[in-house]
Amino acid sequence: MSRADVQPYVFRKREQWAAGLLTRAAPVGDDGRVAPLQPYAHIAKIYQSSGARAPAFDRAGELLWLDDAGTLLRLAADGEGTRRSRVARDIAGSPRLIAGRASLAVIARSRRAVVRYELDSLQPIQSTPIEGEVLDITGDGRSGLWVLARQDKAYRLVRVDCADHIAQTIELPPEFREPSSLAYLASTSAIALLTDGGKALGFLRTDKTVERLPQELNVLAPCFAADYLASDGSNRLAVAGKDHWREGYGLLFVIDAHGQLLDRQEMNTTITGVALNAQELASASASGIALFAAIPDDRGAEASCVFITPMLHSPDRGDERGWLRAEIQASMRQGASLSVEYAATSDPELVAKAERLVTDASAPPDIRQSRLAALLENLWSTPALMHGTDAGDPEVQTTYAAPLFTVTEPYLWLRLTLTAAAGAQMPVMSELRVLYPNRSLMRELPSIYDSRASGSDFTRRLVGVLETTTQGLDRTIASIGSFIHPDTAPEKWLDVIARWLGVPWDDSLDETRKRALIHESPAILASRGTRAGLDRLLAALFPDSQSRIRVVDYTVERDVPRIGGVNCQGARLPMLIGGLPPTAVILGRRLVLGRARLCRNDICADPLALLTGRIDIVATATQVERSRIEPWLESLIRAVLPVTSRLLLQWRGPRPAAWPTVLAQDGPELLATPPTHLGATTLLGHTRFPATRPPTLTQDGPDLGPTSMS
């Protein structure tokens, strides 16, 4: 059967799953796969310290926190060994730590700036002033920060990008009263905010639209008010506070990106901070850190997620109507299962009611799911249940099909429940395809084989199995083109595609540069041998080539000397000044018998011959970057230059970083020197090695300490 005969509704990307109602699910990777949220254990491992506050996980899973003395403690990702470091006063006094890929962000002591430090050496990198008082900070999912600031009783959110520039400002709506803490959720591009003294939690999207107005937190526990808020950066939040019914006890709740309760922990001590990631949940207290690990698959509790599609419509096209089947791509092992139910109707009033329930943004998805399920209670079909198996490769996705050919109504909802039993490996769902209309191979069979007239659908089900197989073959054939497209081709195919196209290439290029080169290959090949071709090649290799690569084509960009006059304009600087080469023989000046050689006719006749065809390229890179780029850069550049051109490739290091400062109450304060690395960023005459104490401004000028050197 031709693929053109049926149309699919496809749910594969994160935005497509978000069009329906998805609850208790976590994204797997960045390609849109989803799985049930893995719960945390209820027994914690304790790491004692003299007080603990401001816990934070870095990208590698290492846990950082501060003790009462302002010492920074680091717990390795494997839980073995704790390191202690004395830190600057800004770090020691910050109420929040945000650990990124290579930096640690804190709130300055003045509460008027955000300061970034190098994560390993704890040397300051940059200070970004913020107008007003900084109340809290959180990551933005892009190596930057969101800052909650207050000025003149007005509250706003400020985004500081990865270059420490203020990139966006959002004035908080009046409904978000007295916000005290914030956390970012990448799955919904929303910022969660504690408001009303920690009594309510609201969600504001980064495009300034309100996802959910602040809701009272006393639904989690009577009289509960949160003191601390944190996120895993993706789709889970942790809110923690005092247990108002038991003195000295704390409550810790884990909720999803829409406010649905996922887990609850009761602590026998007052909580002083909270942090979480996909693998661990950390609670700080006066006695240290309590660390709750995610339950391993082989010892896990039962977990499930539910997805209800938006209302799907199969239009009436004469004799082509109804639905064919649902195909689900999933990876399920023994103990995992997938349940598929559908509800269908032709009643437009019921459809309108369902749409109002689904689009009610004031209710979280789990509440909307319950309301929609109740509205369609008498329409849901008997669940089609599919089970996982330990046979085959666990990483390979399997196609599961649920027949829909008995459905004749034009409006349809599907409800999928993905479940992992206790001790089973978490199942992963990557795609849902709902095919319509009900056009199948049954039409090609003689009517004698149509068993529907006798009330049996055996033949139809048998044909459905064949259809599922042929559709898979059709999709495989249709996807062949993705193997040669630079956006979708597997990495190992990129070298083959490049040689097929004849684009300048080197197998040691990283994947990003390889895809960029293939993207630009038509323009590069069309302008090969020209300046435009060289510019396109460099732009593909270095998106920031204008600031990192300087190209000088002497005979094109420089003019030859011309003497101006009344009606003749002379040449402008810079210009080319030609002459004989240093080895040329000059009678009476430079002539040694037995050694002198006559000048070549081409050079002596043309004083600019040595500059003709010469192209100078100056590349700016650190020593580490140069070691990665140098092996292939010159060969790729020569591949697009004319054969007669002469290339001179030069390297230079980046300019040293500016000395970071912060504005303190008593004037500007110099921070410690920016981090330097021998052989990478050090420049003679510019680099200063860190002093034994932070430099300060005195009446006689800056005091850099006894070990400063320039």
pLDDT at 696: 53
**pLDDT, position 601:** 57
Residue 578 DSSP code: -
Q: Is the pLDDT of residue 599 over 80?
A: no
Tracing tokens 């950066």 back to the chain, one arrives at 233
The average confidence (pLDDT) of the chain is 83
Q: Dig out the tokens for 518 from the structure.
A: 């293939």
Segment 265-268 long-range contacts (CB within 8 Å, at least 24 positions apart):
265/40, 265/42, 265/292
Structural domain range at position 211: 40-294
Q: What is the distance between the alpha carbons of residues 58 and 234, in angstroms, rounded to a whole number?
A: 14
How much is the pLDDT for 278?
84
| Type of residue numbered 573 | L
Asked if 207 and 319 sit in the same domain, the reply is no
Residue 285 and residue 337 in one domain: no
Domain annotation covers residue 561: no
Pick 376 or 656 by higher pLDDT.
376
Q: For residue 606, what pLDDT is reported?
A: 64
Q: Helix, strand or coil for residue 403?
A: strand
Q: Are residues 236 and 96 in the same domain?
A: yes
Residues 150 and 121 in one domain: yes
In this structure, how many other beta carbons lie within 10 angstroms of the beta carbon of residue 609? Answer: 14
Per-residue model confidence (pLDDT) at position 92: 94
Residue 207 sits in the same domain as residue 280: yes
Q: Is there a single domain that holds both residue 148 and residue 93?
A: yes
Residue 458: which pLDDT band, with cuts at 50, 70 and 90? low
Which of the two residues, 350 and 696, has the higher pLDDT score?
350
463: its two tokens: 């044909």
Q: Residue 48: give its domain's CATH number.
A: 2.120.10.30
Q: Has residue 678 been placed in a domain? A: no
What values do phi and psi take at 453, rounded to 5?
Answer: -65, -30
Which range, of 74-88, 397-411, 598-612, averages the lowest pLDDT? 598-612
**Residue pair 336/424 in contact by the 8 Å Cβ criterion:** yes
Contact 418, 329 (CB under 8 A): no
Q: What residue type is 224 in one-letter code?
A: F
CB 3 within 8 A of CB 474: yes
Spatial distance between the Cα atoms of 639 and 353, rounded to a whole number of angstroms? 64
Task: Confirm if 269 and 250 have CB atoms less than 8 A apart.
Answer: yes
Categorise residue 140: left if φ over 0, alpha if ψ from -120 to 50, beta otherwise. Answer: alpha
Query: Who has greater pLDDT, 648 or 299?
Result: 648
Residue 136 resides in a domain: yes
Report how far residue 74's alpha carbon sits from residue 356's, in angstroms, rounded to the nearest whole number.
Answer: 50
Structure tokens at 211: 């996802």
User: Nearest CA to 132 among 115, 155, 109?
Assistant: 155
Indicate whether 400 pLDDT > 70: yes
Residue 639 domain-assigned? no
Question: Nearest-CA neighbor of 67 among 90, 84, 79?
Answer: 84
71 in Cβ contact with 87 (< 8 Å)? yes
Among 380, 376, 377, 400, which Cα is nearest to 388's? 400
If we measure between CA atoms, which residue out of 501, 506, 547 comes closest to residue 520? 501
Tell me the H-state helices in 360-439: 365-375
- Domain CATH number, residue 327: 2.60.120.260
For residue 340, the SS3 value is strand
- Of 413, 439, 465, which residue constitutes the final position of a domain? 439
Are 525 and 501 spatial neighbours (Cβ–Cβ below 8 Å)?
A: yes
pLDDT tens digits for range 97-139: 999 888 999 999 999 999 999 999 999 999 999 999 999 999 9
Output the six-digit token pair for 4: 């053109």
The mean per-residue pLDDT over the stretch 188-209 comes to 90
Q: How confident is the model at residue 455 (pLDDT cuts 50, 70, 90)?
A: low
- From residue 178, give the alpha-carbon distance in Å to each of 133, 194, 214: 13, 8, 11
Of 272, 294, 316, the last residue of a domain is 294
Q: What is the pLDDT of residue 710?
A: 36
Reported as a pLDDT band with limits 50, 70 and 90, residue 414 is: very high
Residues 239, 289, single domain; the answer is yes
CA-to-CA dists, residue 479 to 7, 473, 487, 488, angstroms: 16, 10, 13, 10
Lowest mean pLDDT among 12-16, 476-480, 532-536, 580-584: 580-584
**329 and 365 belong to one structural domain:** yes
Q: End of a domain among 266, 294, 322?
A: 294
Rounded to whole angstroms, the Cα distance separating 185 from 12 reads: 20
Residue 654 covered by a domain? no
Task: Determine the residue type at 559.
Answer: D
Percent of the chain whose predicted confidence (pLDDT) is above 70: 80
pLDDT of residue 319: 66
Question: What percent of the chain has a predicted confidence (pLDDT) above 90?
Answer: 45
| Residue 350: both structure tokens together | 């019921």
486 - beta bridge partners?
none
| Residues 409 and 344: beta-carbon distance below 8 Å | yes
* Residue among 299, 389, 419 at smallest CA distance from 35: 419
Q: What is the pLDDT of residue 441?
A: 62
Note whether residue 245 is domain-resident. Answer: yes
Q: What is the SS3 assignment for 392?
A: coil
Quick one: 667 exposed, middle or buried, by C-beta within 10 A (0-12, 13-18, 19+)?
A: exposed
* Cβ pair 185, 257 in contact under 8 A: yes
Tell me the C-alpha distance between 508 and 630, whole Å.
11
Q: Which helix (H) or strand (E) holds 628?
A: helix 623-638
Q: What is the token pair recorded at 77?
A: 């990702």
Residue 567 lies in a domain: no
Over 80: is that where the pLDDT of 298 sits? no
- What pLDDT score was predicted for residue 1? 42
**Residue 118 pLDDT:** 93
Element (H, E) at 51: none
Structure letter (DSSP) for residue 314: -
Residues 191 and 254 in one domain: yes
541 against 696, higher pLDDT: 541
Which three-class secondary structure state does DSSP give residue 498?
A: helix
Segment 28-41 mean pLDDT = 82
- My answer on whether 107 and 160 are in the same domain is yes
Q: Are residues 196 and 65 in the same domain?
A: yes
CB 193 within 8 A of CB 147: no
Find the angle CA(86)-CA(91)-CA(95) to the nearest 5 degrees: 130
Query: What per-residue confidence (pLDDT) applies to 18?
Result: 85
Who has greater pLDDT, 629 or 669? 629
Residues 235 and 372 grouped into a single domain:
no
Q: State the pLDDT at residue 2.
A: 43
Q: How far apart are CA 27 and CA 23, in angstroms?
A: 11
What pLDDT is stored for residue 275 in this prediction?
96
Number of structural domains the chain divides into: 2
Phi/psi for 280 (5° steps) reads -145, 155
Q: Is the dihedral of CA 182, 186, 188, 189 positive or negative?
A: positive
* Distance of alpha carbon 463 from the chain centroid: 44
- Please name every residue paired with 216 in a beta bridge, in sequence order, or none if there are none: 200
Rounded to an integer, the average pLDDT of 474-501 is 87
pLDDT of residue 256: 85
- Predicted confidence (pLDDT) per residue in 663-693, tens digit: 444 555 444 445 555 544 454 554 555 544 5
- Amino acid present at 627: S
- Answer whether residue 101 is part of any domain: yes
Q: Residue 486 burial by CB count (10 A; 0-12/13-18/19+): exposed, middle or buried?
A: middle
**How many Å apart are CA 451 and CA 175, to the nearest integer?**
62
Q: How confident is the model at residue 156 (pLDDT cuts 50, 70, 90)?
A: very high
* Gap between the Cα atoms of 178 and 579, Å rounded: 76
Model confidence pTM above 0.75: no
